[in-house]
């Protein structure tokens, strides 16, 4: 399976690694990492992008809005200032697919003009104007399931059948994308691990991951360093690498096409070994 991302082709015949680059001051794991005294430091962000590429990342996912519970609200202008200059600089310097983690139509349009190749939306293009903006860019889109909004999503999430409900939501968003002019072959599903799900919901989704998308729709999975690992293994954020690697490998074995991570080199190594065993 191949995905056309602007000027670049992404080969999804094997799992590809998406490295995280949050240009936010308050994301749960790497918030503020690319800030100096005067604000966002473009050179620090570029160094992280270069590191992702050198370690084997095929996609760099740039986010200007933290979606952790309780995160501060971000204005459209703030998000544009955090995201677009970084997209533009990476597009000029590196041969890599650039993904923009945004729900904001203006950020989608400006990022596409600056060189982005993929739109990754935790709100599944449900904001006013998002479907139209995404369609106008001509880029692939990743639609994610989330119960509620980031500020309240972890307040007692409930499902009758979490797998069926997540799949039904994603199928509905696929239909909405097609109706808006986004072809089926440009849509990716993300079940939204940790977004309005408790630990048992997350484990059930992982166990039954192959049920979450049709065979022709790529699945993006992101569980890197998430709080579920902390609760299940009693580990703080800086001790969640082993759990993150285990979940990445389990997701790959269950058909994930894109795996979104903080620790690129380590995940690449794990998946190389897994592929050697599975495909001698």
Which tokens in the block code for residue 128? Answer: 């006013």
* Catalytic position from the list 123, 226, 240, 254: 226
DSSP assigned state of 166: H
Sign of CA dihedral 214, 160, 143, 48: negative
Helix axes 241-253, 199-207, angle to 10 degrees: 40
- 226 is a catalytic site residue: yes
8 A C-beta contact, residue 57 and residue 19: yes
Strand partners, 10: 3
Distance CA 132, CA 206 (A): 32
Phi, psi of 95 (to 5 degrees): -95, 85
d(CA 167, CA 43): 40
Contact 32, 71 (CB under 8 A): no
- Spot the catalytic one: 68, 109, 225, 260: 260
**Distance set, CA 129 to CA 86, 108, 126, 267 (Å):** 24, 10, 8, 36
Tell me if 140 sits within 8 A of 3, measured CB to CB: yes
DSSP 8-state secondary structure symbol assigned to residue 15: -
Q: What is the DSSP string of 179-213?
A: HTT--GGGEEEE--TTSS--HHHHHHHHHTGGGSS
CB 256 within 8 A of CB 205: no
What are the catalytic residues? 226, 260
């Amino acid at each position: 399976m191949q995905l056309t991302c602007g000027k670049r082709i992404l080969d999804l015949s094997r799992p590809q690694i998406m490295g995280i680059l949050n240009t936010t001051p308050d994301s749960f794991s790497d918030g503020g990492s690319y800030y100096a005294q005067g604000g966002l430091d473009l050179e620090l962000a570029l160094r992280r992008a270069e590191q992702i590429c050198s370690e084997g990342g095929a996609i760099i996912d740039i986010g200007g809005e933290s979606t952790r519970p309780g995160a501060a609200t971000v204005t459209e202008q703030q998000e544009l200032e955090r995201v677009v200059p970084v997209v533009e600089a990476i597009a000029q310097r590196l041969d890599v697919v650039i993904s923009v983690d945004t729900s904001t139509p203006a950020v989608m349009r400006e990022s596409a003009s600056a060189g982005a190749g993929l739109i990754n939306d935790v709100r599944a293009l449900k904001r006013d104007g998002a479907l139209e903006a995404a369609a106008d860019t001509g880029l692939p889109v990743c639609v994610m399931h989330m119960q509620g909004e980031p500020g309240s999503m972890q307040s007692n999430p409930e499902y009758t059948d979490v797998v069926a409900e997540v799949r039904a939501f994603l199928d509905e968003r696929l239909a909405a994308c097609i109706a808006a002019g986004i072809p089926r072959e440009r849509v990716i599903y993300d079940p939204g691990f940790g977004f309005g799900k408790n630990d048992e919901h997350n484990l059930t989704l992982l166990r039954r991951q192959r049920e979450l998308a049709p065979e022709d729709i790529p699945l993006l999975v992101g569980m890197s360093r998430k709080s579920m690992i902390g609760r299940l293994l009693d580990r703080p954020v800086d001790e969640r690498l082993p759990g993150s690697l285990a979940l990445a490998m389990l997701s790959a074995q269950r058909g994930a096409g894109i795996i979104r991570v903080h620790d690129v080199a380590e995940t690449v190594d794990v998946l190389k070994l897994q592929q050697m065993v599975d495909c001698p």
